[in-house]
Amino acid sequence: MLHPESFTVTRRNGLAPAGGSGQCHWCHAKLGTPHNPDCVCRKRTVVIRYTIEVTTDVPESWTPEDIEFHRNESSWCANNIVAELEAAYCLCNRTTAQYLREATPEDEEGWNLDLDL
């Protein structure tokens, strides 16, 4: 989903953290003018599927069905995976990302995106 609010150079969207130049740090467009079409400051939202392999401990007696039930259908909150991911030294070679589609307003709900530029 395109975010036209990101298309113009503003103090929050394009000026280098040190500021002062009056132009976009990346595309050099002047403050208050449109970013160049290929500038990284022009934003859109997309939906990405991440596939991550983790190693974690479970009770010895649990079957594969028990493990999947616990993680998919019980009261276990999927946000708990954040702690497991933080415990990993590095997720490189354990994660893949796949572009699915352009985002819709419904996709953006609940993600707290900072697009107020």
- pLDDT confidence of residue 17: 78
116 — pLDDT class (breaks 50, 70, 90):
low
State the maximum Cα–Cα separation within the chain, in Å, rounded to a whole number. 64
Residue-wise pLDDT for 28-80, tens only, equals 999 999 999 999 999 999 999 999 998 899 999 999 999 999 999 999 999 99
pTM of this structure: 0.78
pLDDT at residue 87 greater than cutoff 90 = no
C-alpha to C-alpha distance for 12 and 19, rounded to whole angstroms: 10
Q: Which residues contact 6 (CB under 8 A, 6 or more apart)?
A: 13, 35, 41, 42, 43, 115, 117
pLDDT at residue 14 greater than cutoff 70 = yes
Q: Which residues contact 24 (CB under 8 A, 6 or more apart)?
A: 9, 14, 15, 30, 35, 36, 39, 41
